[in-house]
Amino acid sequence: MQLFRCPLTHSPYLERRYLLQWRQAAQTERTDHFLAAAPEVPLLPWEAELPEPCVVHPEEVDTYPWAEDDTLPSALIARIDAWDDAQTAESGRDAPNYQGALSIPPGWRVGGFPSWASTGPMDIRCASCVAPMWLLLTAGGDEMDPDSHSWMPLEDRDLSLQGMASGRGGQSVAQPTRLRFGRDRDLHVFTCPTDPGHPPQWVLS
């Protein structure tokens, strides 16, 4: 699967346009299908519009649903909120919390659960068959932030320090792709589980 993003904005609302392209794995492994030279970079108004060349080192982690509204049973959400309050009372602002430190990692990820930090939970349904859509991919601007420093890889930490102060590598580690998807937002790509040919949906949250 490839995700393409137009480097320009569209309409009076400065909308982004994306394209999801499915390919056969055997075809992508043929070197004669690769570009011989990088495409010419268009003139862009902001540096964050041009991705930084980088590679992905996949890592499997357990994720858990966003705890708000009816994403989890109300009694469980109440227990989570009480636990968060107790952690803050004991350790202050650097205390771990369920939403940022335990449930959903920041950055780029495949599958799992969407973070609804900016919008609140949304019911995403297929425009073709009304089936509940599945989260395929999340593209995030940052790989770590003050609320999610618990997900920071050990190799990027100074173990003698705590919290975000322990981060090493600066911007290249915290924001390796250099891309932004709106102010403190993630781009969620949802697909239809009944037919992958149905149009995907793009959600900023």
- Report which DSSP code applies to 12: T
At residue 33, the pLDDT reads 63
**pLDDT tens string 120-153:** 999 999 999 999 999 999 998 888 877 777 888 8
| Threshold 0.75, pTM exceeds | yes
Q: Under a CB-based contact definition with an 8 Å cutoff, are residues 144 and 167 in contact?
A: yes
pLDDT in tens, 15-69: 888 899 888 877 777 666 666 676 677 777 777 777 888 777 888 989 999 999 9
Q: Is 186 helix (H, G, I), strand (E, B) or coil?
A: strand
Tell me the C-alpha distance between 24 and 27, whole Å.
Answer: 5
Quote the DSSP letter at residue 173: H
The backbone torsions φ and ψ at residue 72, rounded to the nearest 5 degrees and listed phi first, read -140, 160
Element (H, E) at 90: helix 74-91
Judge contact between 106 and 148, C-beta under 8 A.
Answer: yes
85-128, pLDDT tens digit by residue?
Answer: 999 999 887 788 999 889 998 889 999 999 998 889 999 999 99
User: Which residue, among 118, 126, 120, 134, has the nearest Cα to 181 in the 3D structure?
Assistant: 118
Distance of CA 114 to the CA centre of its chain: 8
